[in-house]
Structure 1
């Protein structure tokens, strides 16, 4: 049985997720598990579910190696878990080729590609850090826009209705600490905020 796994890092990448699911189904995956979560996060529940569904002789299919793992070590650990279930891994988008870890050549190629992908990511992060440092030196770097503070008036209105900070956070999609910061910013007493 072929089991597919699709992932994008953010909810803004709906089209990319749909394309992955389509490709996996076209490749014959009977079940496709998908999620929108960063690969750096420890919890990837749909990946865990996909792996738990693998039985002897099954194949886990992904579109690209970076949809599965962020580092060579992570990739190799996932392959070990798949192989422990006596299953294989297939990666579809490898310059028109399909990479199959059930073959020795496939295992070798995957390890090399994982190392190259990790190297490219490291270079990208280094360039990003250099760009931020230069922007800071030039006085152009503003940092991330404080999105929670934009909701301060909504936070204040909900608090005035007697709604507690936990419920305000849930309704507005911000953290409870952000609710407290918004309320502190408008002069509320900290002890009054907790109620």
Structure 2
């Protein structure tokens, strides 16, 4: 008996079009994460890993949608194929079954390494672009999470002894963001 064809889609933001990745591919079920590839906690990836069974086929648009580094890619592919799950990468035209030849394993490693390298180049160009924009005065960075009045209230409440975790929740920021505001000049 043939298993199910299961799609996995990952987009980095809600503005991106998730449907285009596996457009036209017939699937029984699709799992979609809206998360950066660097995030290790992707709920839909975890749900898909739990859902699939031996005989199923996972279809992913490209390797970089499944993992952003070679170690994670190898780990996910190996974990799935050891359970009898087949993985197809549409863009790279590669399929892994667990009974792969040494050449298939080499292709996984080479293509995964290229994916990781490409991501590193993108980050490097992004840093260079931000630095140039800052020199021109065109880049101001991210909008502050809290207004000056909120920061003053936050500091007053911390100085009064309130729990920082509770204050952070009320302001809708992480504790690290709260600590950054506390470390900044008063």
Partner of 2:161: none
The count of aligned residue pairs is 174
TM-score using structure 1 length: 0.68
Secondary structure in 2 aligned to 1:108?
Answer: helix
RMSD (Å), alpha carbons: 3.6
User: What are the residue-to-residue correspondences of 1:101-120 with 2, within 5 Å?
Assistant: 101-102=96-97, 103-104=100-101, 105-120=103-118
- Bigger share in helix: 1
Residue of structure 2 in register with 1:9 after alignment? 12
Q: Return 5+ residue gaps in structure 2 as ranges.
A: 154-163, 182-186
Q: 1:176 to 1:29 in 2, by over 3 A?
A: same
Is 2:95 aligned against 1:100? yes
Q: 1:30 to 1:7 in 2, by over 3 A?
A: same
Matched ranges for 1:1-195 at <5 A: 1-13=4-16, 16-20=17-21, 22-23=22-23, 26-94=24-92, 98-102=93-97, 103-104=100-101, 105-136=103-134, 138=135, 140=137, 142-149=139-146, 174-175=173-174
| TM-score (norm. length: structure 2) | 0.71
Point out where structure 1 has 5 or more consecutive residues left out of the alignment: 157-164, 183-195
Tell me: CA distance 1:76–1:177, structure 2 relative to 1, closer, same or farther (3 Å): closer
Q: CA deviation at 1:71?
A: 0.8
